[in-house]
Structure 1
């Protein structure tokens, strides 16, 4: 059975990934999605509620990339494969959308503040578990997970700003090699 809210959310993710959020009203977005602003309010409460759900969906898709990796690989192979999948140009629209909405939450746009802890904490558990599976203590795994997330996001911003895939790949490879060298 088709879920109307889920259908609207997926259409919103696709549309906003392609066109961005800035200076777009709920009515404009509803028209672009082929629905009414009342239906968006019914399902999401507000424009901000919709945007929070959009970011959650984009983040869930990105975590699915991590879950799909072959866990039997070495830590370096896993990290580099994860990075290479994130740097697929097909994902750039979703990554730009994520950073746009993340920035709005950081600026205190009403209704978006709930994103702030989630954009970090939602990643910590799966990344920590992955690090622990490669021999790190729980504390070291958590620190490494946070560091890896920060480096990944920073290099994604670099890539989106500069388009210099070779340079960001070299930087990530250096980070991964240094990280792996410090494993027990």
Structure 2
């Protein structure tokens, strides 16, 4: 009768080595540690890659400002801030419709806001000189960058918003 062997020390047949197994276990441990690591910036139930914003609640304070994101050429990071409208642009009608305008930030940088008006309400009667707060995803460009995803949470992204005169548009 043939004896059943649960572990075969012949590594060549199975395609792994002890050093590869150890490296794999070390990597799994590192990934587990990163997932479980809590720096206090999120609740235990929130995913580590998303920042959550709820109505009438400020976004997490650790978000970088647009000036930092621009200087460091950051891309696809969530930022918050406030600026003054210096130019109202025509709506972008290609694909999803977007209300577009340019803000001047306190340190002089300009920032394009692209607000999806198929998902969120438009800011009515927006004009030069209006102060607008924002929370959305920053995309770097040489003109100062743009912020989009300024609307309620979808399956793909966190919730962003715009705010003027205490009214939030999300």
Indicate the TM-score class for this superposition, using the shorter chain for normalisation.
Answer: under 0.3
Provide TM-score, normalisation by structure 2: 0.23
Higher radius of gyration, 1 or 2: 2
Higher relative contact order (CA 8 A, sep 6+): 1
Relative to its length, the structure with more helix (as a share) is 1
Relative to its length, the structure with more strand (as a share) is 2
Provide TM-score, normalisation by structure 1: 0.22
